[in-house]
A and B are shown apart, each in its own frame.
Chain A
Amino acid sequence: MNRVEGRVKVTGLATYAAEYPVEAVAYAYPVQSLVAKGRIVRVHDAEAREMPGVLAVLSCEDPPRLAEDADAELALFQSRDVAYRGQIVAAVVAGTYENARAAAAAVRVEYDPDDHDVALRSDHPGFYRPDVVNPDYPSDTVKGDVEAGLAGAAASVDVTYSTPVLHNNPMEPHAAVAVWDPEGRLLVYDSTQGASPDRDTIAQTFGLPREDVRVVSRHVGGGFGAKGSTRPHAVLAALAARAAGRPVKIALTRQQMFDVTGYRTPTIQRLRLGADAGGRLTAVEHVAYEQSSTLVEFAEQTATPARVMYATPALRTAHRLVRLDVATPSWMRAPGECPGMYALESAMDELACALGMDPVELRVVNDADAEPEGGLPFSSRNLVMCLREGARRFGWRHRDPEPGVRREGEWLVGTGVAASTYPARRRPARAFAFVRDGDYVVQVAAADIGTGARTALVRIAADALGVPPDQVHVELGDSDLPEAPVAGGSMGTASWGSAVVRACEELKRGDGKEGRADTTDEVGNDARLARHAFGAQFAEVRVSSVTGEVRVPRLLGVFAAGRIVDPQLARSQFIGGMTMGLGMALMEETLTDEEFGGFLRRDLAQYHVPACADVPHVEAVWLDEQDGELNPMGSKGIGEIGIVGTAAAIGNAVHHATGHRVRDLPLTPVKILSRF
């Protein structure tokens, strides 16, 4: 289906957070810390206060009132301690954006700086075991005897991979407009992936009852996780509006987004795999080393895919975290699965090479009939079919496994494969369906962050009602609508869709006029099963022996993700994820500034994401997977699985092309060239 909001988007009529026309709006501009660690001695703001149009200056000199249990990244101006370079330490509110920005530049913050520690390194003495990893998985798991499994293996690998700091970089910068009414109720137009949870967090931060806060977010220009949790800009807009006594707008610059909207932790991952002569795994160990801030513990679940992927008698997974003087990492495009599967699937390729075995076959012989950690049966698992179908379509059987032997002029050619996986979860949601002017209106506080969620829900509702899609209107992106969970974890459509279907069924069952649903009980009663989508990705690469440049003429992904709600939207999701995976493989990288703290390369001219020329042929197909244990649609989330495995497939293809294994992303010409 074409997107129902396609026309308003391409004609510029879709209203994004910063674009809501609000009378008498003022502007806030943040002042960011110039030290990575230390204490604020004094905020000198006298000059700024005298500048044209300035309405207020916010800082720790006069801390605005916030709830004591506010999240430390959101508790703006409550402390004199600086936790990272770029942290918001003051803000200026003025009648125009330009005046706010000019005055912000005149605020001088005096620091008592401390020595900072911003670099993740494998020998850091500060590593510890977090209690849980995102969102609530155990940090470590052990099954069987890994050492014995490795000792008895016919072939084994012991390899370490690393991935850099990555930033989500949605097209639409984070923005908010905050409006307080005379009764002390707060309205925030925010760029968020979830109006309901954003409303809850803002209410909690300000110590307000949640009925007194409303978040509106009808169109969002991408999020990828960066808008999944409430970010400081929304709190700042509300604080500034309260201080100025006027509505206040804030729109972050691209550079500010790098500092305060979250990022993917860099990772160092050690993989130890052993297999018998037939390729069956005898041991798997995956240990991930990651960072968080001193403010908040965020532990990415990087080693968790090994708990799902392959049958093995011995399995150990572990996460170690170190708290550095950096911003808090957060959700980004398949947190956990994405960096973890890069390492696991690269190591599987290395194991295949060590065994002299085809990498597709290695994965096939290690397919699991129950979850390797915990032993839960799968609701459905079609990894092998994805691998087989992908191999057929890609022409894999013609592949010569010998690395570094195919040359076209200066270009070395190779192919690689990797598996994909992502959990298929759902959360409780509510929905309301009713008849208006002969059409059907469906309300749910879902978020469409560019995924096509609005369109998918139209289709789901139309199917449930048995009416054409053009008779269904979906209203979302407003916390005053029936409560719904975040567009994250690839569970938006499954969660919202469940509630929408139930509301539509209720409407049909009742008077035909309206129906309400709350899926809390239904979701709570879901059978205990392992629910995951799976996939296989195949990449062809060309590597210049002159320059070390890597190009990817062909990417193929085959996915088994339950019933596909809408082929057109699904294809966009899959190839979008794969394109991001290609970016991760070849170019995406934020540098940490070890001298000053904070990040370097904070714009899109320096932080490269793929251009059209990088993705000449990305193809995604899917199996017809039937799974009755998921939700009324029979669907698994498809927002994130596309990025899982892409980087490994490309890295494995680079090895096949060149004979060299680069274990540190991104695979830039610099790293490739040093191997020739």
Chain B
Amino acid sequence: MGYFSNIFNGIKTLLTGMSVTGKVFLHSRKGTITQQYPDNRKTLKMFERFRGEVVMPHNENNEHRCTGCQKCEIACPNGSIEIIWDRKVNPKTGKKKKQIDKHIYHLGLCTMCGLCIEACPTDAIVWAQNYENAVFDRSYLTKVLNQPGSKLMDGVEE
């Protein structure tokens, strides 16, 4: 009696489990979460807060908002940001002012914690939503965020 009821119980629980998988199999098109990833690159849109990499937006006159205050460099926990700066004479006011030469960002060191962007007083750096950061050589991961020949936007004060 015990032997047969054991077999019977075993088959019953197996069929109960298979009814779940069968239901999912038959309704597999509804509620599917799988994405056809490399094929859907054109339509794939990340959320607006997604942390892809740090970028510095420039306007059409090749101007950025970075004053070179180095708050991002201090806030960064692992030294991903280096700022090379100089004091140059501002032609309009004739006074010497801090200006960035290079805003260097090491993507390979970055942990995407977001503290630099929190710390920035002028919103000079923001998150970009790109998600394909693989490169063929490690040196490509070191990026200069300000474009060549760019300068500080007028009216941006710390």
Q: Do A and B bind each other?
A: no
Task: List chain A positions with a Cβ less than 8 A from chain B.
Answer: none
Task: List chain B positions with a Cβ less than 8 A from chain A.
Answer: none
